[in-house]
Amino acid sequence: MDTPTRPCLGLALSPELASQLKGHLPRTSVLENRLPGSALEFMSERSQGGLVFVSVSTWKDLPAQDRERLTAHKSWQFLLIADRHDPEALEFMSSGIFLTLMTCPLDGEKIARALEQAEEVSSMYQDIFLMAREISLERELLARKNEQLAFLNQLLTKASQTLDPSVILSNSAEDLALLLDVRSVLGIFWSENKGQTEAELFLPENLTNTSQAEWINHLLSLATRLGKHEVRGYQVSLLQHKDDAEESQPELDQLITLPLSLGPEPFGALVICSREASALGQDRLRILGSAANHLALAMRNSLEFRKTKARADHDGLTRISNRHHFDTRLREEMKRHQRHQDELSLMMIDLDYFKSVNDTYGHQAGDLVLREVGKILHNTLRESDFPARYGGEEFVVILPQTREEQAWILAERLRAQIGQTVFRFQKKRFRVTVSIGIAGLKPGALTPPEGLIHNADLALYLAKTSGRNMVCCSAIEECEADQLG
């Protein structure tokens, strides 16, 4: 017999979202999809509460008064569905109203994980309630229990206010100091990517090179043991600490390890460096366990949101930034250029005779060329440069603090490298060439973004009409071109 579950309410969900939810909810759960007015009546009739599924689009359009009336039902848990990429989703999650964020399309795994999270949080609040009742019975423990509740409340509130994993971990170090002596908090989180385990390590920024190497080895071995797979690749993110650098240096022999999971298998771990590591009582260990459960939820949300945002900002084929992300970045770089009086250049790249590649070898071969050119840009450009796919067979590169002459040298290097690359598709080998236009801004120039793009486009047009496979600058009288025979 299936275990009864709490009521599930859809708040003005689209037919598609409602269908996806109904198809993956347990058989004992019946989704009631209602408009706000009817939803309020439904919630008022059920004092025990339940789950409310609401999309970003619906929540964004709700008047503030309706939001307040809905969230006044404290026994109900709200789950947000990102039915579209919207920067305001970050603000909604930061409000602390929503338990988790689910990305579309919905599937059984996402919905099951959300239900598990809801159950875990509900259980955690039940534990807090029982703890409060014990306090009333044992007055001599009142002060200590109140401190523990304050700690949990602060930790839960602050962890829900951001979707930046580095900020969550930095805040947790301060919050955990309410419960025990904390010198530092470190973390590692892992996931599968194309059959290999990759990890992100979060370390204090004040570590010496030797100490950092020791901690990397420790965290990687921890991930291998808990995740049951050897980590094949990793990246390190640094955490800022307000404490004195010498005082907050973590030591490997004073550790509390908290595995983080939202299901049967952990996806990460926190390591707390504390002088009290070997002297914790059962009450503080239990509170640490509850803290780990909510931090797991917050970290999973933040890591998933970062992945979603990265997908929204990047071109699906070439894996570099897309046109929308380029437009945003160019405005930011031009403001920085005007503020700091730096040089700034823009490079526009167009694949020569790309239509003939598609016509001769097929569109899959064309996609292969676009992917490889994206890789060449990513691997050849400097870390400060910003490549993006502009559309079709056109690419753009923002070159901060770079004069046109320097940009021309870099463009020539790219042109030569792409021209020398042999593309292989279905036992056929071929090459492609590119034409490149460059435009630059002098310090103090007030050219709008559209003007810089226009100048680079004119230079690109000059390169193409002059024979292709060459680089031209927007200052035509100073244009340098090199055409290969």
Task: Round to whole Å and give the CA distance between 318 and 392.
Answer: 11
Residue 348: φ, ψ to 5°: -115, 130
The pLDDT value given to residue 365: 92
- Rounded Cα distance, 258 and 240, in Å: 21
Active-site amino acid positions: 393
- Tens of pLDDT along 380-398? 898 889 999 998 999 999 9
Question: What's the number of CA atoms in the CB half-sphere (13 Å) around residue 204?
Answer: 24
Specify burial of residue 426 (Cβ count, 10 A radius: 0-12, 13-18, 19+): exposed
Lowest mean pLDDT among 160-164, 181-185, 324-328, 425-429: 160-164
Q: Which amino acid, 307?
A: K
For residues 270-292, give the mean pLDDT: 85
* 175 vs 396, more confident: 396
Per-residue pLDDT at 33 exceeds 90: yes
Higher pLDDT, 472 or 183: 472
Least confident of 125-134, 280-289, 335-344: 125-134
**Predicted confidence (pLDDT) per residue in 308-360, tens digit:** 776 677 787 888 888 888 998 899 888 888 887 888 999 999 999 999 999 99
Confidence of residue 480 (pLDDT cuts 50, 70, 90): very low
- Model confidence over 228-264: pLDDT tens digits? 888 887 888 888 765 544 455 677 778 889 999 888 8
Percent of the chain surpassing pLDDT 90: 36
> Angle between the 404-420 and 363-380 helix axes, to the nearest 10 degrees?
140
| Contact assessment for residue 297 and residue 100, using Cβ atoms and an 8 Å cutoff | yes
* Residue 61 neighbours by CB under 8 Å, 6+ apart: none
For residue 446, which amino acid is it? L
pLDDT by residue (tens digit) across 451-461? 999 999 999 99
Q: Which residues contact 340 (CB under 8 A, 6 or more apart)?
A: none
- Type of residue at 457: D
- 235: number of Cβ within 10 Å: 8
List the one residue out of 303, 268, 230, 185 whose CA is nearest residue 217: 230
Instruction: Output 140 or 482, whichever has higher pLDDT.
Output: 140
Q: Is the pLDDT of residue 441 over 50?
A: yes
Domains of the chain: 7-127 (3.40.50.2300), 165-311 (3.30.450), 323-473 (3.30.70.270)
Can you tell me the distance from the alpha carbon of 346 to that of 395, in angstroms, rounded to the nearest whole number?
Answer: 11
| pTM greater than 0.75 | no
Interior/surface letters 243-278, b for 16+ CB within 10 angstroms, e for the rest: beeeebbbeeebbbebbbbbeeebbbbbbbbbeebe
Average pLDDT over residues 302-306: 83
pLDDT score recorded for residue 419: 95
One-character DSSP codes across 291-306: HHHHHHHHHHHHHHHH
Query: How many other CB atoms are found less than 10 A from the CB of residue 34?
Result: 17
Model confidence at 485: pLDDT above 80: no
Point out the least confidently predicted range of 128-142, 390-404, 414-428. 128-142
Q: What torsion do the CA atoms of 312, 317, 321, 324 make, to the nearest 10 degrees?
A: -60
Residues 6 or more apart in contact with residue 266 via CB below 8 angstroms: 226, 227, 259, 260
Residue 300 has pLDDT above 70, yes or no: yes
Q: What are the b/e assignments for 338-373, b being 16+ CB within 10 Å?
A: beeebbbbbbbbbbbebeebeeebeeebbebbbebb
- What is the dihedral sign for C-alpha 28, 32, 38, 43? positive
pLDDT in tens, 73-110: 888 889 999 888 888 888 888 888 898 888 888 888 88
Q: CB–CB of 152/246 below 8 Å?
A: no
Long-range contacts of 361-370 (CB under 8 A, 24+ apart): 361/425, 361/426, 361/428, 361/430, 362/425, 364/425, 365/423, 365/425, 365/426, 365/428, 366/393, 367/317, 368/423, 368/425, 369/423, 369/432, 370/317, 370/318
Q: Is the pLDDT of residue 479 over 50?
A: no
Tokens of 451: 């003007």
- C-alpha span between 439 and 443 (Å, rounded): 14
Q: Regarding predicted confidence, which is higher, 484 or 336?
A: 336
3-state secondary structure of 2: coil
Largest Cα span, the chain: 91
All residues at 6 or more sequence positions from 378 whose CB lies less than 8 Å from its CB, including other chains: 319, 320, 387
pLDDT of residue 389: 93
pLDDT of residue 242: 58
- Residue 35 clears pLDDT 80, i.e. is over it: yes
Across 130-137, average pLDDT: 66
Q: Is the pLDDT of residue 477 over 60?
A: no
